[in-house]
Chain A
Amino acid sequence: MKRRDFIKISGAAALTAACAPRIKESSAPKEGEGMEYRINPKNGDKTSLLGYGCMRWPMIPGPDGKDIIDQEAVNEMVDYAMKSGINYYDTSPAYLQGQSEKAAAIALSKYPRSSYYLATKLSNFGDSSPEASKKMFEESLRIFNTDYIDYYLLHSIGGGGRRAYEARYVENGMIDWLKQKKAEGTIRNLGFSFHGSPETFDHFMELHDSGETVWDFVMIEMNYVDWNHADGRRNTNASYLYAELDKRGIPIMVMEPLLGGRLANVPANIEAQMKARDPEHSVASWAFRFVGSHPRIQVLLSGMSSMDPLRENVETFSHFRYMTEEELEFMERMATEMKEYPMINCTNCKYCMPCPFGIDIPGVFQHYNRCITEGTYAQTAGQKDYQKLKRAYLTSYDKTIDKVRQADHCIGCGQCVEHCPQSIKIPDELLRIARYVESLKQDIL
Chain B
Amino acid sequence: MLRTLRIIFAILFITGITLLFLDSSGVLQPWLGWMAKLQFLPACLALNVAVIIGLVLLTLAFGRVYCSVICPLGVFQDGVSKLGTMKKKLPYKYKKEIKWLRYGVFALFVIALIAGVQSFVAILAPYSAYGRMVSAVLHHNSVPVLIVAGVTLVVVVVLAFRGGRTYCNTICPVGTALSFLARFAAFRPVIDTEKCVKCKVCERKCKAQCIDIDNQKIDYSRCVTCFDCMGNCKADGLKYKFAWGKTFLAPRTKTFSPKNVEKVLSDSADEKFSQGRRAFITGTAVVAGTALLKAQEKKVDGGFATVLPKAVPERDVPLTPPGSRSVRDFYRRCTACQLCISECPNGVLRPSANLEHIMQPEMGFEKGFCRPECTRCSQLCPAGAIKPIGREEKTAYHVGTARVNLDACLSLKGVQCGNCATKCPTGAITIVETDRGLTPVVAEQICIGCGACEYLCPVRPISAITVNGREDHIL
Contact = CB atoms under 8 A, between A and B. Distances in A.
Contacts of A404: 307
Nearest to B290: A356
23 contacts: A94-B299, A95-B300, A95-B301, A97-B301, A126-B298, A126-B299, A132-B298, A351-B301, A353-B302, A353-B303, A354-B302, A355-B304, A357-B291, A358-B307, A411-B410, A411-B415, A411-B417, A412-B418, A413-B292, A413-B416, A413-B417, A434-B423, A442-B372
Interface of A: 55, 59, 66-67, 93-98, 123, 125-127, 132, 349-351, 353-358, 360, 403-405, 408-415, 419, 431, 434, 441-443
B270 interface: no
B297 interface: yes
A227 B417 CA distance: 37
B376 interface: no
Interface string B414-443: 011111001100000000000000000000
A409 B456 CA distance: 6
Contact of B417 (A127, A349, A412): A412
B301 A94 contact: yes
Given A405-B307, A412-B418, A442 B302 contact: no
B367 A356 contact: no
Interface of B: 288, 291-292, 295-307, 367-368, 371-373, 410, 415-419, 422-423, 456, 458
B371 A412 contact: no
Nearest to B368: A403
Q: Would you call the interface of chain A mostly helix, strand, loop, or mixed?
A: loop
A98 B244 CA distance: 86
Nearest to B309: A404
Given A357-B458, A404-B307, A409-B419, 14 more contacts: A94-B299, A94-B301, A95-B302, A125-B299, A126-B296, A358-B305, A408-B423, A411-B416, A411-B417, A411-B419, A415-B292, A415-B295, A441-B371, A442-B372
Main secondary structure of the interface of B (DSSP, over half): loop
B298 A127 contact: yes
B305 A357 contact: yes
Contacts of A98: 298, 300
B464 to A, nearest CB: 11
Most chain A CB neighbours (cut-off 10 Å) among B299, B300, B415: B300
A419 B295 CA distance: 13
Given A408-B423, A409-B458, A356 B305 contact: yes
- Most chain B beta-carbon neighbours within 10 Å: one of A356, A358, A360, A412: A356
Given A403-B367, A405-B307, A431-B422, A411 B301 contact: no
Contact of A353 (B301, B306, B423, B458): B301
B299 A414 contact: no
A95 B303 CA distance: 10
Given A411-B410, A412-B418, A350 B302 contact: yes
B160 to A, nearest CB: 40
